[in-house]
Chain A
Amino acid sequence: MTPSGSLLHAGGLYKAYGATPALDGAEFSIHPGEVVAVLGPSGSGKSTLLHCLAGIIQPDRGTVRYGDHDLTAMTDAERSALRRGDFGFVFQFGQLVPELTCLENVALPMRLAGTARKAAEAHAREWLERLEVDPVAGRRPGEVSGGQGQRVAVARALATRPRVIFADEPTGALDSLNGERVMGLLTEAARATRAAVVLVTHETRVAAYSDREVVVRDGKVREAVTTG
């Protein structure tokens, strides 16, 4: 079980690449509906922490608990199933499948979870409308602007109604106007669905959208200022 009230909790995480530890005893927890910004300089281990929390990689030591599940004890297939059903992802760029239309990209996680195509696409269309990108539904990612593409990615992350959204530098490739629009829509939609958001960023401007900030330094996670 996770500590009282937390949805996702990591304790004593250690992960090294070669001789260099990226995480060295990192602790982290997040509650339902909470937006936590993970800050830190380049190479501090922010992305490694996110990948461990999402079950994308396995830490060398430590535990990651999600509800009743211990991610570190699960098989790759079990973690994949968990990611398909309970987690959503937004990355800096390159996450949309270039050959699929924006609509099909948003429908993709639902189809992978077994939803029929028509139902998945109908639901995806709703999310595109909510994120104000329904006019580009039939276009391919290469045919839309960076801001539109990132909103499509947010729609895809939210469409499965995940309980946790992992966003790794979601505005890194956008100008400030588009970045703020994306962040506004992402946090608004997440709060509306009571989804927790783990937001990795190095921009304090983006971190301002979070409820709480933590800083990763020397492989350890430290609490920063509570903005709430």
Chain B
Amino acid sequence: MSDPGPPVPARARGWCRDLAMGIRFAASGGREGWTRTALTAVGVALGVAVLLIGASVPTLMNAWHGREKARENLGQMHEPPRGDTTVRYASADTVFHGEPIRGRLVRPDGAHPPVPPGMDRLPGPGEMRVSPALRELLAEPGSALLRQRLPYKIVGVIGDAGLQGPAELTYVAGSTALRPPAGYRIDHFGKGWTPRPLTPQGTLLVIMTCVALLTPVTVFLGTSARFGHDRRERRLAALRLLGSDIATTRRIAAGEALFGSALGLAGGAVLFLAARQTAGWITLWDINVFPADVRPGALPAALIAVLVPAVSVLVTLFAQRGVTVDPLGVVHRRPAPRRRFWWRLLPPVLGAALLLPLLRQRVWEDSAANTTMLAAGSMLLLFGVTALLPWLVEAVVGRLRGGPVPWQLAIRRLQASGGSATRAVGGITVAVAGAIAIHMLFTGMQFGFTQAYARSGALPRIGYTTQAESWQQTERALAAVRATPGATDAQGVIEATLDTLPTSDSFLNLAIGSCAELRRVATLGSCRDGDVFVTQGRDRAARPGATLDLNPPFAPEDRPTPHPWTLPADARQVPLRHLGDGPDDHRYEILATPSTVDVRRLAMGDMALRIGFDRSVPDAVERIRTSMAKVTPTLYESSAVDNPHDRAYSGIRNGLFAAAAVTLLLIGAGLIISTVEQLHERRRVLSSLHAFGVRRSGLGWSVLWQTAVPVLLGLVLAVGCGLLLGTLLLRMINAEVRVDWPVVAGMAGIGGGVILFVTALSLPPLWRMMRPEGLRTE
């Protein structure tokens, strides 16, 4: 019968005792012990902070959406009856120098209107409450045009509860001019909203990002766990002499790592709390959140608290797997197995195999299968390079021969024990390859938007729409804009959508305007007020004499009362003036002069203005915006003047670059640890080399080459993999493949910097270890 071993409680007690002993060693190991503990703690702290931030993404998005929904009530289909507790509420958004400003106008119907979050009462007529960020912007000297555009008296600041984020530019103003059809009547603020859990694909993407970010941290952790291992092994050998078995020594080593992990966990929490304070300064894709909204869910936080220290302990045990400590202090290291190429090639090939079918699709389809394939394929490709790197380093270094002595020393050292350097550099490849691929994706997307905006923005034009009150309103707006400096041209019509009667779902586009305005749309020939025209080559339903509905249903289930209107039998056919194939082209079936249609009977009648401007006039667009806001603040602007994507993508790309740079520095720190460790182990050889008369510079060069070779190979692999992945991603979305060469060069530059940084910091210990003290044997 086999020995069942000690009972489970005794075994557990033994485990706890060994772990506790390890913790005691870590806490009382002197300067070196504390250095190792501190390094482990730093690695764990970074990992915990990154994971906590990742785990906060769903929560902060829910909070961000929740804040918007809690203060909003635009767009409902059925208005409540006017009463003491209702208020007319309209959007008055604007843009100032590219910054979007959320504006809301209110006009209470009675004495007890609802109040949105963040304020105790609604602003009175001519008053406004503003966000702190908008108050600052309004106070700036260059904001005169904005101050003219928002001519309300500031009576207070909107509290945090009424804002999505601390940097949000928003205001709520009381307006006596607000009247139907502008805005909506509401009796409360806040829309029903249930936070949606993250989809499995979204979860996968968050996990992938966290894993990609954590890889360098894990590498750093692995390196720091090995720090000072010779002294630890001597200590463990002493314990072996006292009767500890191998398993016990490993548990003691795990206990040491656990102590560092526990400190790291606490440090990570502090780092996370400090990092989230910066949330208010960051705006990505127009999302800016309060630090308090950056908080992980309870379950993810608990998992992080348990799993990260566990991973740290596992890394330590993994590092010990090839080492057996004998009671007499002899350390057996399992010889490094020969690296096989075929299985190392498997992950990247599998990754590419998952990604390639996605290229065949003409248009990217956002399905669960596609997202899973994309995430898994990208992950396999990225992590495949870390598997390939040790093989590549071994294959290249194994073939290097000759060269000067420093080069030979470095190459031989890499041939004999290049594992730790390669492991450290593995983190670089993931970080750099990922950063290059994502950079390429964003550069491609940004370039697409830039081109589109350049095309549509090539024509200096800005458009406005709002629900039409009357033709006179349009005339006033046109007059105002024509008097604005910088406005070169202004066209305006009232646009509406009509249906046939009985309904046929054959919607017709109507333009109402003076003869002068309609002549800009079509070649009319003779025209006077009272004329109606149908356009040539458009829908046959626009038949002179046909009865049309001015109040068509918004949705199939709607049954509004029809507002019949007869297309005059004498309506003449006229050709439209085409503006090209763009979205600005005229697409009307019917053109009518103002006296022929009662604008108030139109269900979907919008005043539509097209305004040209002169780019050479300073602030021409801002002047036009201010003029338009004075006429009707609830106008909706559509223009290609500001490309919001440019700012968003630039921010992300800069952030990515900074993150990659920090990662490279972290890897550099790991490399320093392993280099200094290696030097420490070789102090006797270094001293004897110095005795032979070897110059310090010679050994310095050997350290440089020893760092440079794996880093350069890692960078080459990372650039290749990053470009491949980036190309695949861009092809998937049918975007032009563009390489962000400055970023690639930047990454390579930082890689070079890491080499110099590691070498420079390794030189003082190198010289210290070359001292004659290392020759002493007594």
Contact = CB atoms under 8 A, between A and B. Distances in A.
Contacts of B408: 100, 104
A71 B11 CA distance: 65
A66 interface: no
A89 interface: yes
Interface stretch (B18-26, B304-312, B634-642, B769-777): B769-777
Interface in B386-427: 402, 405, 408-409, 412-413, 415-417
A140 interface: yes
B698 interface: yes
Given A112-B698, A168-B777, A169-B777, A89 B688 contact: yes
A99 interface: yes
Contacts of A93: 684, 777
A122 to B, nearest CB: 15
B766 to A, nearest CB: 15
Contacts of B693: 79-85, 87, 109, 112
Contacts of A80: 690, 693-695
Nearest to B410: A99
B772 A95 contact: no
B777 A112 contact: no
Q: Is the interface of B mostly helix, strand, loop or mixed?
A: helix
A43 B776 CA distance: 10
Contacts of A84: 692-694
Given A54-B691, A99-B413, A168 B685 contact: no
Contacts of A108: 405, 692
A94 interface: yes
Contacts of B772: 51, 56-57
B689 interface: yes
A199 to B, nearest CB: 15
Contact of A111 (B405, B416, B689, B775): B405
Interface in B583-613: none
A62 interface: no
Q: How large is the interface on A (under 10, 10 to 19, 20 to 34, 35 or more residues)?
A: 35 or more
Contact of B778 (A43, A81, A117, A140): A43
B775 A168 contact: yes
B778 A47 contact: yes
Given A57-B772, A92-B777, A112-B698, A97 B409 contact: yes
Contacts of A104: 408, 412
Contacts of B415: 99
B684 A112 contact: no
Contacts of A96: 685
A193 B470 CA distance: 116
A176 interface: no
Contacts of B695: 77, 80
Interface in A29-54: 42-43, 47, 51, 54
B393 to A, nearest CB: 15
B405 A112 contact: yes
5 interchain residue pairs of minimum CB distance: A84-B693, A83-B693, A99-B412, A94-B684, A95-B688
Given A80-B693, A80-B694, A97-B689, 7 more contacts: A79-B693, A91-B775, A93-B777, A95-B688, A99-B417, A109-B692, A166-B691
Interface of B: 402, 405, 408-409, 412-413, 415-417, 682, 684-685, 688-695, 698, 772, 775-778
11 contacts: A47-B775, A51-B775, A57-B772, A82-B693, A89-B691, A91-B688, A93-B684, A93-B777, A97-B685, A99-B415, A99-B416
